[in-house]
Chains A and B, each alone.
Chain A
């Protein structure tokens, strides 16, 4: 799950990482009020779940409160990479002496959190990594041992020479590591980490991506979910415990298992069709899940046929068949349904479908071809 800059900064703030004074709002009037109260220049920053806000004009320097009003008005009308801006952060503008980068990400290869630091902050770190890898220092933390002070210090010393700054940076790296582990992050990043003209170190920007699997133990973080930033169908699917991704085609797919669901989409394309969605009903599928899945697929007017591809393992074919029968009874779909059932309790599943005059095939290819025929 992605959260906004202002939310990440809230987490930083409570963890003791210094952040600039700022407030979030959706109103240009309030933006002006905030600037008035701060009695200094402010930055107005678009809050959207994409990078490159600055380049897109979503971050503006405002010397006067009236400027903040107009900047807010303009930014709130913007779409950045297709996402409408609904909120802005109004934060005090600071005099920057230097910009650095500090980030932590879980490295899939070493299976360790990797801390990256660079004195070249403020810009795309992936570009720095590609063009001038020598400017980045990486350190993989042993997650069982945790991050030791001397390790954080050696990272800080790569960025700064002044020991005063090294000490401040060491503290920030340690706190960022704690944030990363304690909030179940997959990414925690400060870019840029600035030093002001007065010599204070501050996290000018903040980015945190959260691990969906860890959210169950962080109700406070789950509450940060911005429903405006997600597809309504995908929210609906999440509530029903389905994983769903909307696509552009007309073949509605309902599959158990992520790998098989992807392979089903691939097969639809292979035979010349276009999938309308990725939908994994998961393991242990109850009839209710099947009903929710069909409801979501039927909500998409483009869909011309629903293709069920079920290979029972922990999912039982009879559960799915019962769900299909109930869903058809409830929702009375006007489009054809093609079913493939194989695996655990396959015979029972097929018998249940036969009871209501529905056929099921055992072969995925047959089912996909049949679905394409019916959609044509």
Chain B
């Protein structure tokens, strides 16, 4: 039963978020009900999570630097998802009477305080994005059970949370329950909450919800803590030695010691944001390289030849098959050679970087070499990957190390490129006078 709205009353503006953010969904679903004109900015080049929202320009409008953030068409700024949803929504969603409005706020607060924190404690370890702590998880399960009981009793005699129509209370509580219903509330667990199930399924099947969240699939098997995923996640999460001390960077972190201590507190606060981001990315793990044409160069085939044949053969194979239209060759050099101390530490630096770039393996190849000896060494390498842009910018996961290197794109036809590439593939040659110590292959 849609009520016609005067166009002049409708909210309009721009919503900044990362894709798949359940907080942004609260506002986007509200917009589906109200018909508000919302332009969503959630991807490069306009929005890069962790960069755009940390920029000075963004923080001038939204001091927290968090998303979702909304800018009205007459340049007013609103942050906090529920406030944005309130603005974007309509009278039906906000509640028609003062009492209904109060009840809507009541349930929204309930969702943020009674559900969300425990939901994170329970679900995030299962996704490998947070350490598992049995006590904390058990406590969270108990809290969720209590919250679901409250909802279940309330919904026994009611179809929706407030009044007899869908309001923002339904939308916001439902959005905070998404990852519980997706990952851990399996049929056995949710059996005791049939009223909540009925309400939840009805909501996620409304066309206005479906347009924003797509088809929702209820959990079939309760997810458990995934230690392997977690260690992978920690690998790519650790930045600037926050969670993992990386010996080769010791020199650097000493120098930056002061600078690093300060943001630590802030980083912890932001951790939840980062974690939620990782959660959103769970849904669509798309290979960033998919945007570039596949070309004719078979990365796998080349790697096989390189591993199994001697260098002469594999180098010839490389130049015969390399597809310069769709692949590029890069030269990298470590920016802080004066900080490199012992050789084995430098080697750890390289293998650490390789590990963090794991997801690039299908589309990239690299040979990185260490020259010199203890306390007097340099690192440089040759990289080949699909596409012509600096690949590390394609995914936030790959940005940990690359800024410590200078990157030069090489002309695939030039003679000196050929010489350079051949030297790095063979680990043999004059390397411009540098003394080869050892090399590592990213394949």
A binds B: no
Q: Which residues of A contact B (CB under 8 A)?
A: none
